[in-house]
Structure 1
Amino acid sequence: MSNNKNMQHLQAVVFDWAGTIIDFGSLAPMGAFVQLFARYDVSISIAEARVPMGLAKWDHIHALGNQPDIAQRWRQAHGRDFSDADCDELYEVFTPMNQASVTQHASLIPGALETVVALRARGLKIGSTTGYNRPIMDVVAPLAEAQGYKPDNLVCAGDMASARPGPLMMVRTLSDLGVWPPAAVVKVDDTVPGLQEGRAVGAWVVGLAVTGNCLGLSEAEWLATPPERQALLRAQAHQLLLDGGAHFVIDGVADLLPLIAEIERRMAAGELPA
């Protein structure tokens, strides 16, 4: 049961993984999706592969296979509609492909570790959910831990009966962490489905515009982008995430700490996440 103290102070921050804590630009899954469909004689672009990002990977493949243009290419290649059985087969092929690609894109995003250390110093617990399945995270988690990042829990797509954009992975996370109510929790994510799982459970939701899927640029590519182009891309990503349910949008996790203080100020004034 909530009490006044619980409603005035945050108890936990729950982070996504790729594009949020690791893998600036969320690059690891993209080549794998393109290569996956190419293996079945269907060409898709990186831009097309990014559209369902944040969903569980089976759901992501299913969304791609049923996207009208891609579905037409599948029919041309295979003489029939894309089916759930096809999705099952592609998913089994995809997992080892993504396991291989994540090893090349597992570096912590600049400022991520320092932010997590500072949040822990404030007494906050650190949760995590991901659209990756457990076998992929069995590769990713040790790579992150070797760099100093180990959250207090991990809930993967496939661990629950349903994943994003529904609330169940967040429900499990709050249970794992022993925190309540959801209004004392912040969910941080770079994708709309990841934001919506936070909204679905009733948490504060923070979108990341620059480091993740919205831009899809590596750190080097972002830094090489002219300032006026950066401003345009940033504004577009901000609007996409706000439209997708974010209460607040920042460039990346390195910018989170001032926002944590602002959320607690609002909580102390009686404000709840809408």
Structure 2
Amino acid sequence: MINEENRVSCVVFDWAGTTVDFGCEAPVGAFMKAFEQEGLPVSEAEARGPMGLPKRDHVRELLKLERVSALFAEKYGRAWTEEDVDRIYAASVPALMAVLKDYCEPIPGVVETVAELRRMGLKIGSTTGYTKEMMDIVAPGAAARGYAPDSLVTPDETGAGRPAPYMIFRNMEKLGVYPPANVVKAGDTLADVREGKNAGVWSVGIIEGSSELGLSRDECAALSTTERVDRFAAVRDRFYGAGADFVIDRITELPKLIEQINKLKSHQETK
């Protein structure tokens, strides 16, 4: 018998790359365009590196890259400053805002999985690296396609984004759930994993559709069996390296994982 008070009561999802926008493509293109305009071209892999952080922080992390810092110094004859972060971030915003409406489609399995989680009695929260202004486009677009969490918290609301835990704590407050051991955070980036760990909740990485995998839906489907195994294994290792408690291949595996966590919690309770 599992004590109801010792069960997982809430899942807090990330958005792009986890529940919508397979491959987390919208922000990648916006950052690449903004840096290109500055004469500082970044690769897709570089652009994805800090994914999951608040978008201004994302720009700063790209400027910190040794190659990009050197390129900046060569082009401008000085080291970059916070003014440069602000300028490049400002350039990325309209590029991102212009395309967000086209990246609201739920990732396959999301709508059905969320319905199953709700049948299990769980509440659905969400955190993001997007601003409230950006989510004012994404959230209604996703809702029109069948996905609407019970709670949404953006970095603007808490004053700090990932890897800080405050967005998760605000979700817990809004939804009336506690303790952290009864909450699961699920996301597609290393920043998501660290956010969950810093909040003291169960932290789960999801591979398929993730920015860490970095493939579109068609590219993922086209992988050979060997390629899929190798690519997924590399992402799994990175998630675990960031501290993930569990890593699953796709979101549809989450209900069974939560049952597993509940059994683990029950076993710990009876020790």
TM-score strictly above 0.5:
yes
SS in 1 for 2:127: strand
- Offset of residue 7 of structure 1: 4.9
Within the candidate set 146, 149, 157, 1:148 is matched to 146
Q: Which residue of 2 aligns with 1:163?
A: 161
- Offset of residue 5 of structure 1: 4.4
Question: TM-score by structure 1 length?
Answer: 0.94
Within the candidate set 106, 128, 136, 1:108 is matched to 106
| Contact kept in structure 1, 2:3 and 2:266, CA below 8 Å | no
In the TM superposition, what whole-angstrom CA distance separates every residue of 1:44-84 from its partner, at most 9, and x where no partner exists? 11011111111111100000011111011112222221111
**Counterpart-to-counterpart distance in 2, 1:38 and 1:77:** 13
- Please identify, of 155-164 and 258-267, the stretch whose mean Cα deviation from structure 2 is larger: 155-164
Q: Which residue of 1 aligns with 2:15?
A: 17
Q: 2:105 is aligned with what amino acid?
A: S
Q: How does 1:1-274 map to 2 (within 5 A)?
A: 5=3, 7-270=5-268
| Contact kept in structure 2, 1:129 and 1:170, CA below 8 Å | yes
**Counterpart-to-counterpart distance in 2, 1:127 and 1:133:** 16
- Offset of residue 138 of structure 1: 0.9
**Counterpart-to-counterpart distance in 1, 2:253 and 2:107:** 12
| Contact kept in structure 2, 1:115 and 1:257, CA below 8 Å | yes
Q: 1:55 is aligned with what amino acid?
A: L
Q: 1:184 is aligned with what amino acid?
A: N
Runs of at least 4 residues off by over 3 Å: 4-7
Aligned-residue CA RMSD (Å): 1.3
Structure 2: state its 5+ residue gaps: none
Residue correspondences, number: 268
Q: Which has the higher helix share?
A: 2
**Counterpart-to-counterpart distance in 1, 2:155 and 2:67:** 26
- Offset of residue 269 of structure 1: 1.1
| Contact kept in structure 2, 1:13 and 1:185, CA below 8 Å | yes
- Please identify, of 123-132 and 72-81, the stretch whose mean Cα deviation from structure 2 is larger: 72-81
- Offset of residue 213 of structure 1: 1.0
SS in 2 for 1:205: strand
